[in-house]
Structure 1
Amino acid sequence: MTSIALFNNKGGVGKTTLAYHLAHMFQRLGHRVLAVDLDPQANLTAQFLSEDDLAVLWHEPQSPAWQEPSAKSPQLFSRVSANTGTMASAVAPIREGLGDIEVPDPVEITDNLWLLAGDLELSAFEDKLSAAWPAGFTGSDPAAHRTTTAFHRTIEQARRAVEANLVLIDVGPNLGAINRAALLSADTVLTPLAADLFSLRGLHNLGPTLREWRRIWQDVVLKVIPSDISAPAGTMTPLGYVVMQPIMRLDRPVKAYRRWLERIPQVYASAVIDQQIPGSPYEVATLKNYQSLMPLAHDARKPMFDLRSADGALGSTQTYVQQCYQDFQALARKVLTRLDEVQ
């Protein structure tokens, strides 16, 4: 099994959209994929599931009409039940001091693609994780170790249940305790970027922080975790970055975009890899902006590259859809090649 965290501590770079489409494309390429939503904003879960599904998943009271599936997507409504859990419910016993993780059944999205759903209540786990981090530096507090490994153990057990060979973890845009535990659970890290000043500043923070977390985990914590608690290796190997092209604005000309784009390879190599490498060997791909397809994909509850005429993708838009499919297929294959290279 290989796990990939999609992470950038600068938000608004298309991270969740990338995770959603890669999950679907990896499934098309023959993999059994488990998508994990560890962003407390739960945007990935909202992309996979309808609003009716989310209301049931998050136990929100509904009017009697909620029991009727919508005419547009009746097949989506049966994906969750009142007993389906989330990553927040999985760690709730630890957060409340009542026990250990309770692993939920992953939601089956389609053949060979499952979701461990997110929840805004996951943010309540932040304080518990913050306190457990320093408490886990010695072998005297197994409860702290169960807390810091909770995400890893939940993902591991869910992955085994569905026999997934590829795990995608969507992580929020910050360097807090939830993201530390989430990233330590990942074998590799793929970084979506925009070609702007804010993404470059984010890289300067991201690289040193990941290296420090890795050092503390592997040199201090792993050595004292009891053998009966499954713990991640904490490798977080950088896979590279994907540049997400923005919509060009009149106040942001192409020249400005290219200025930041040309700086990304050097900053990524020095900040994240901690080396000076000529060229851009860590650039995985540059994705076009498919903003015009997003509203159609959202309404149809499917990836942009699956849009059909019945979904409103008419005329020349179908050519755009086909190009989108080819781009994501090429990206997914490049990511798989990178995975083979780092294993």
Structure 2
Amino acid sequence: MISVALFNNKGGVGKTTLTYHLAHMLQRLGHRVLAVDLDPQSNLTAAFLDDEALEDVWQESNGASGAEEADQGAPTVAAAVKPIMEGMGDILPCRAVTIAEGLWLVAGDLTLSSFEDRLSEAWPKGFTGDPAALRTTTAFHRIIQAAAREVDADIVLIDVGPNLGAINRAALLAADTVLVPLAADLFSLRGLRNLGPTLRAWRRTWHYKVMPDLPSGIDAPAGLMHPLGYVIMQPTMRLDRPVRAYQRWLDRIPQVFASAVLDEPNAPPTGRPSEIATLRNYQSLMPLAHDARKPMFDLRSADGALGSTQTLVQRCFQDFQSLSEKLLKRLEGLPAHTS
């Protein structure tokens, strides 16, 4: 099993949409996929589940007793970490929701945001090998590992929020690899300059301050966070943002990614070795897909995808299939390991 966190500390780049469609396409290509929603906004969970199912999951998360959750599995990540938050014990197993054959979801919950302070407090205490602090810091890793084993997943996609806070630190430490969705604009470039050094600092701290004194018996992540590359999420071109301006930012991304994220400031200024794909804008398909509760590339005429829209649906399928195949090739090219 290998895990991929989709992360950009700049919001609004289409990260959750990318995660949702990658999960469906990877499953379509024959992989057993577990999608994990570690963004307290829970947009990935809302994409997978309709309002009725979502309400049921969140009501169960609020109302079930610890004994029931221990027996049946916690319905959300927030419910799984509730014993830690309340100082009553360790994580509960988290029940994965079946979306389709070969595709599962570990549901998120808005109440997960209250775990931020507990994670912040635990981080420095883990430097001394404090077992309770390390159980807190490794909670997401252990929840993901248990859920992935339960469904025998071979790929885990982790959706995280757009910030560099404690929740995302714990989520990214649990990830073997990191895929970065980007927009071709100044904000994404600025975000990359923050993202790269922060990931390296977290990795160094984990490897040199935490792992050497890690108590036996605590299942801790390797903290690899290997950068896979980036995906350009193409915006809608507007008269006030012409193609020339878009291209200017696009041309700067490879060097900034190499320097800031890969720590290769002397990388050749030509070529785009870290760019996995550029996804066109499918804005006209999004409302149809939302109403139909399915990926954009699965829309049919009965869903309102008529005429030229059906051509865009086919292109969308081809684009995500190509992206998924390229992503799989990069994953296969990594040094052999399992989480």
With the shorter chain as reference, the TM-score category is over 0.9
Q: For residue 15 of structure 2, what is the amino acid of its counterpart?
A: K
Question: How many Å apart are 1:219 and its aligned residue?
Answer: 1.1
Q: Bigger CA drift: 216-225 or 181-190?
A: 216-225
Q: What does the per-residue CA deviation read over 1:70-96, in whole Å, with 9 as the maximum and x for residues that have no partner? A: xxxxxxxxxxxx976101111111011
CA distance in 1, matches of 2:159, 2:267: 28
CA distance in 2, matches of 1:260, 1:311: 36
The corresponding residue for 1:265 is 254
Question: How many Å apart are 1:302 and its aligned residue?
Answer: 0.3
1:119 equivalenced with 2:109 (yes/no): yes
The corresponding residue for 1:285 is 277
1:133 equivalenced with 2:138 (yes/no): no
Listed as ranges, the matches of 1:162-177 within 5 Å are 162-177=151-166
1:237 equivalenced with 2:226 (yes/no): yes
CA distance in 1, matches of 2:213, 2:18: 37
Question: How many Å apart are 1:249 and its aligned residue?
Answer: 1.6
Q: For residue 284 of structure 1, what is the amino acid of its counterpart?
A: I
CA distance in 2, matches of 1:237, 1:107: 28
Coordinate RMSD, CA, aligned? 1.3
The corresponding residue for 2:317 is 325
- SS of equivalent residue, structure 2 residue 212: coil
CA distance in 2, matches of 1:9, 1:195: 14
The corresponding residue for 1:311 is 303
Structure 1 pair 288–331 and aligned structure 2 pair: CA distance change class (3 A)? same
The corresponding residue for 2:33 is 33
CA distance in 2, matches of 1:136, 1:203: 28
Residue 91 of structure 2 is aligned with which of 101, 110, 129?
101
Q: For residue 9 of structure 2, what is the amino acid of its counterpart?
A: N
Flag as ranges the 4+ runs of structure 1 deviating above 6 A: none
Q: Quick check: 1:195–1:261 contact (8 Å CA) kept in 2? A: yes
Q: For residue 158 of structure 2, what is the amino acid of its counterpart?
A: I
CA distance in 2, matches of 1:37, 1:125: 14
Question: How many Å apart are 1:234 and its aligned residue?
Answer: 0.2
Q: For residue 161 of structure 2, what is the amino acid of its counterpart?
A: G
Query: Percent of counterpart pairs with the same letter?
Result: 72
Consecutive unaligned residues of structure 1, counting only runs of 5 or more, are: 61-81
Q: Quick check: 2:74–2:80 contact (8 Å CA) kept in 1? A: no
Question: How many Å apart are 1:250 and its aligned residue?
Answer: 1.7
CA distance in 1, matches of 2:181, 2:232: 6
Question: How many Å apart are 1:316 and its aligned residue?
Answer: 1.5
1:42 equivalenced with 2:34 (yes/no): no
- SS of equivalent residue, structure 1 residue 137: helix
The corresponding residue for 1:16 is 16
CA distance in 2, matches of 1:170, 1:43: 9
TM-score by length of 1: 0.92
Q: What does the per-residue CA deviation read over 1:198-221, in whole Å, with 9 as the maximum and x for residues that have no partner? A: 000000000000000000001111
Q: What does the per-residue CA deviation read over 1:29-88, in whole Å, with 9 as the maximum and x for residues that have no partner? A: 11000000000000000000001111111118xxxxxxxxxxxxxxxxxxxxx9761011
- SS of equivalent residue, structure 2 residue 278: strand
Q: For residue 258 of structure 2, what is the amino acid of its counterpart?
A: A
CA distance in 2, matches of 1:223, 1:17: 38
Q: Quick check: 1:37–1:170 contact (8 Å CA) kept in 2? A: yes
1:246 equivalenced with 2:238 (yes/no): no
Structure 1 pair 333–252 and aligned structure 2 pair: CA distance change class (3 A)? same
Question: How many Å apart are 1:277 and its aligned residue?
Answer: 2.2
- SS of equivalent residue, structure 2 residue 220: coil
- SS of equivalent residue, structure 1 residue 104: coil
Structure 1 pair 247–3 and aligned structure 2 pair: CA distance change class (3 A)? same
CA distance in 1, matches of 2:146, 2:213: 22
Question: How many Å apart are 1:138 and its aligned residue?
Answer: 0.8
TM-score by length of 2: 0.93
1:224 equivalenced with 2:213 (yes/no): yes
1:337 equivalenced with 2:326 (yes/no): no
- SS of equivalent residue, structure 1 residue 109: strand
CA distance in 2, matches of 1:184, 1:22: 21
Q: For residue 126 of structure 1, what is the amino acid of its counterpart?
A: E
Structure 1 pair 256–338 and aligned structure 2 pair: CA distance change class (3 A)? same
CA distance in 2, matches of 1:222, 1:128: 20
Question: How many Å apart are 1:280 and its aligned residue?
Answer: 1.2
The corresponding residue for 2:2 is 2
The corresponding residue for 2:67 is none
Q: Quick check: 1:57–1:84 contact (8 Å CA) kept in 2? A: no
CA distance in 1, matches of 2:151, 2:292: 26
CA distance in 2, matches of 1:335, 1:87: 26
Q: Quick check: 1:25–1:329 contact (8 Å CA) kept in 2? A: yes
Q: What does the per-residue CA deviation read over 1:147-193, in whole Å, with 9 as the maximum and x for residues that have no partner? A: 00000000000000000010000010000000000000000000000
